[in-house]
Amino acid sequence: MKNKPRVRMTMDPNRPVKELDERNVTLTCDVDSGNPPTLEAVRWYLDGELLKELPDCPNISYSTPMPGREVETSDLCDIDPSKLMLESVGRSFQGNYTCQGRNTAGWGPQSGPVELHVHYAPGPARLEFDPLVVVKGQALTMHCVVDEMGRPTAQVFRWMRGTHVQSEIRSYNWTIYPVSLETRANFSCQAVNEAGFGNPAFATIDVYAPPTFIQRLTPYTGALFTAKDVSLSCQVECFPLCEIVWLKNGLPLGESDFYSIKTSTLPPDPAKSDFESVLSTLTWNLTAWPNGQLDRLHDNANYTCQSTSNSVGAGVSSTTYFRVEYPPEQVAVSSLMVNVVENEFPDKVSCTAKGFPEPSYIWKFGNQTISSSAVLFLDHKLTRSKAGDYECIAMNRHGNISTKTIMNVQYAPECTITPKEEDDDMLLVCEVEANPGEVDFLWMLENRTYSENVKNKGLSSTITLIASPDNFGKYRCFANNSIGISAPCERVISGANWIRKLSDDKVIIIAAVVGIAIVLFLIVCIIIILTTMPDRRNGKNPSPAHRKGDLNDDGKAFYENLPFHGLQSPQSKPLLPPGSDLDYADSDYRQLYSYGPMNYKQASLQNNADAPPKNNASKSLAVAEKSGSLILSIIESSILPHTVYYIIAFCISMQVYVWDVLHKLKLKSSCINNKKRKLWTESIKLNANFNYVRELL
């Protein structure tokens, strides 16, 4: 049984096709069911309209083909009607295709539609912008208008400034704000889709600039009164170009003997994004000024740089206050000297000076800056170490000037006493440190006021000492000024002070005189002893045995108590039985006589009491003893040169030597009377003095 065919249509390639590729597309009409299954003819439809019927033979008449799509029938008679090839597919082939097949049973129904997608680029663009007059600093909006958005529809737009793609701009419009020198350029735009780029549109944007200062005048301008080059400059950006005029205190200022004006036009500066500009400079012709210098009063004025307007903006103006400047002068302080008592706060001191710009101030003490204001305020108590010059320095950019104030730290006197020699006189000098220096002095000796031989001069007071025991003692000096009285300074004067003040030559002379006196004394003693000694040759001297027996009781007691009596071995320690009344011969030199009983002191004193009046030898011995004591006191003062020590030591040694000889010759004689014993006792004392002197040396 015959059935009409049911068909379905396929497309190869089965994907979108780009118009620019000019590819061929094959449509196939396949039989799904029908009997017979072979198609004798096929009709092809595009969007419901008959596109072609195949085969297309001249002797076979089918329905009239679509207008404008006729083909040579002779070429389509022997082909397979189930296939249709579309060559160089373009945007006109876009649409839904269907097919209808015929077999011997007749024409079957149409197949389902299959859409052919043809992609093509957007159409040409138009570039429009608003506003038509573009001004620097304002906003500019550009639109890329495209009537044919292409397939698929374009969603992206490509913008260019000159030759640079603005990748960040992808929409159909672009707003630039603020407009700058970069905006003065050629712009283009085009729509873009998957099929390609549409034709671009181009536009040249011309940007205008209203008058604007690139370099304006500063609010204040100063020039040193002795300056040799003074000028003012201003620069105004404007396009179309404008003009610049100068005014002084609101009045136009032109070329004259005192001023000159120079104006120039500058091209755009892309680095600063500056448009065309006008630069104008006003210069002072100082050679026309009196003395070639600016006047401090009359040349102070307001100067104005003013531009004309242009087509896109009004003119601008800038004013500066011009002032003639000069370095600080006439500096002064409120107090040239500030008196302050030590450890108290000083008064404030103000520093002033004239100058322009207004001077700034610093205060310095030595190399240290202690204040950075015009007023010196010391918030600490002053000591004398902080007394002196405090310098105020007034300064501005043209120089500096300084002055000083004195911090006069006042304090009560502080004294010292110094002994001095002048023309063989001993002086006591009381010197004080005090401020104020008007000082009164008071001397005291012990507890009484001393006013003899006192000379006051300035910060010192001098007294001339008289070598008198009445002038020995403690001297005190007091000093007084308007601040207060000093603590006393003291000095003790004794007889040794006069000895110490003697020169070495005088000491040597004195020592020589003393030495000669001692030698003479020794000679006299020897003569006396020799003249009183019995003559052995005449038998006037008894034998030693008789001498010992002839001693009376007093002499015997004296003889037995002599240190060499018996010549026994010395004791290991001094013999001093408990309750004994034994004493040492000279308690002052007991270290020299540490062994053996020496109880002859009492016997000697008794003999002296019983003895007749002293003869000349005894008197000489007493004088020698006193001289020796005086010599010892001189030595103990430790002020004599070593030469004098040796002279004294030699003299005493000679004295001791003589007595040693006498000891050996006369000790065993029984004729030694009590006077001789006394002389011997004194010799022992002199020998002890010599040993003491030797230890000192």
Task: Please give the pLDDT value at position 335.
Answer: 94
Cis peptide before 178 (omega within 30 of 0): yes
**Res. 530 pLDDT band, cuts 50 70 90:** confident
Model confidence pLDDT, tens digit, residues 210-233: 999 999 999 999 999 999 999 999
Q: In whole angstroms, give the CA distance from residue 673 to residue 617.
A: 13
32-76 tens-digit pLDDT? 998 998 899 999 999 999 999 999 876 554 444 444 444 444 466
Taking 90 as the threshold, does the pLDDT of residue 658 lie above it?
Answer: no
Q: What is the mean pLDDT of residues 378-406?
A: 94
Question: How would residue 504 be classed by pLDDT, with cut points 50, 70 and 90?
Answer: low
Q: Report, as an integer, the average pLDDT of 138-154.
A: 94
Q: Is the pLDDT of residue 493 over 90?
A: no
Q: What is the pLDDT of residue 166?
A: 95
Sheet bearing 473-480, strands edge to edge: 448-450, 440-445, 473-480, 489-493
CATH for 3-119 (2.60.40.10, 3.40.50.150, 3.10.129.10, 3.40.50.2000): 2.60.40.10
The two three-digit tokens of residue 129, written as one number = 């912008």
Say whether pLDDT at 545 is over 70: no
Q: Tell me the residue ranges of DSSP E strands in 131-276.
A: 134-135, 140-146, 156-161, 164-165, 173-176, 185-193, 196-197, 201-205, 207-215, 220-224, 231-239, 244-248, 251-253, 259-266
Give the whole-angstrom CA distance, residue 599 versus residue 577.
12
- pLDDT band of residue 565 (cuts 50, 70, 90) is very low
Task: Reply yes or no on whether the pLDDT at 137 is more than 60.
Answer: yes
Q: Which residues have CB under 8 Å from 19's CB, separation 6+?
A: 89, 90, 91, 118, 119, 120, 121, 195
Range 468-476 contact pairs with CB under 8 angstroms and sequence separation of 24 or more: 469/495, 471/445, 473/445, 473/446, 474/445, 474/446, 475/417, 475/428, 475/443, 475/444, 475/445, 475/450, 476/443, 476/444, 476/445
CB atoms within 10 A of CB 122: 25
pLDDT tens-digit map of 75-132? 667 788 999 999 999 989 999 999 999 999 999 999 999 999 999 999 999 999 999 9
pLDDT over 50 at 261, yes or no: yes
Kindly list the domain boundaries of the chain, sorted by start residue.
3-119, 125-205, 209-325, 339-494, 505-696
Element (H, E) at 153: none
Tokens read off for 438: 């008007």
pLDDT class of 467 with cuts at 50, 70, 90:
confident
Q: Under CATH, which number does the domain 339-494 receive? A: 2.60.40.10
d(CA 475, CA 464): 12
- Confidence band, pLDDT 50/70/90 cuts, at residue 191: very high
217: which DSSP letter? P
Mean pLDDT of 512-519: 78
How is residue 473 annotated by DSSP? Answer: E
What would the CATH number be for the domain defined by 209-325?
A: 2.60.40.10
Q: What pLDDT score does 83 carry?
A: 93
Q: What is the pLDDT of residue 216?
A: 96
pLDDT score of 508: 67
> Is domain 125-205 classified as CATH 2.60.40.1930?
no
End-to-end CA distance of the chain: 176
- Cα separation, 89 vs 494, in Å, equals 147
pLDDT at 275: 96
Tell me what percent of the residues of the chain surpass a pLDDT of 90: 59
User: How confident is the model at residue 267, as a pLDDT?
Assistant: 96
Mean pLDDT of 253-258: 89
Mean pLDDT of the chain: 80
Mean pLDDT score, 493-516 = 65
For residues 404 and 332, what is the distance between their CA atoms, to the nearest angstrom? 8
- 469-486, pLDDT tens digit by residue? 778 889 999 999 999 999
String of DSSP letters for 508-525: HHHHHHHHHHHHHHHHHH
In the block, which residue shows the tokens 């001098």? 462
Cα(123)–Cα(200) distance, rounded to whole angstroms? 9
Angle at 295 between CA 293 and CA 297, to 5 degrees: 165
Q: Is the pTM of this model over 0.85?
A: no
Q: Whose structure tokens read 């310098």?
A: 391
Q: How many CB atoms lie within 10 A of CB 568?
A: 8
Sign of the four-CA dihedral 534, 539, 542, 543: positive
Q: Once rounded to an integer, what is the mean pLDDT over residues 447-453?
A: 89
SS (H, E, C) 24-76: CEEEEEEEEEEECCCCCEEEEEECCEEEEEECCCCCCCCCCCCCCCCCCHHHH
Rounded CA gap, 509 and 230, in Å?
93
d(CA 141, CA 183): 11
Asked whether residue 293 carries a pLDDT value surpassing 70, the answer given is yes
The secondary structure element, H or E, covering residue 670 is none
Residue 522: per-residue pLDDT: 82
Matching fold, domains 125-205 and 209-325: yes
Summarised one tens digit per residue, pLDDT across range 314-330 is 999 999 999 999 999 99
Torsion of CA 622, 624, 626, 628, to 10 degrees: -150
Q: Which segment of 166-180, 429-443, 681-695 scores lowest on mean pLDDT?
A: 681-695
Q: pLDDT (tens digit, 9 = 90+) per residue, 315-372?
A: 999 999 999 999 999 999 999 999 999 999 999 999 999 999 999 999 999 999 999 9
Average pLDDT over residues 582-586: 46
Q: Are strands 360-365 and 349-356 parallel, antiparallel or unpaired?
A: unpaired
Q: What is the pLDDT of residue 511?
A: 67
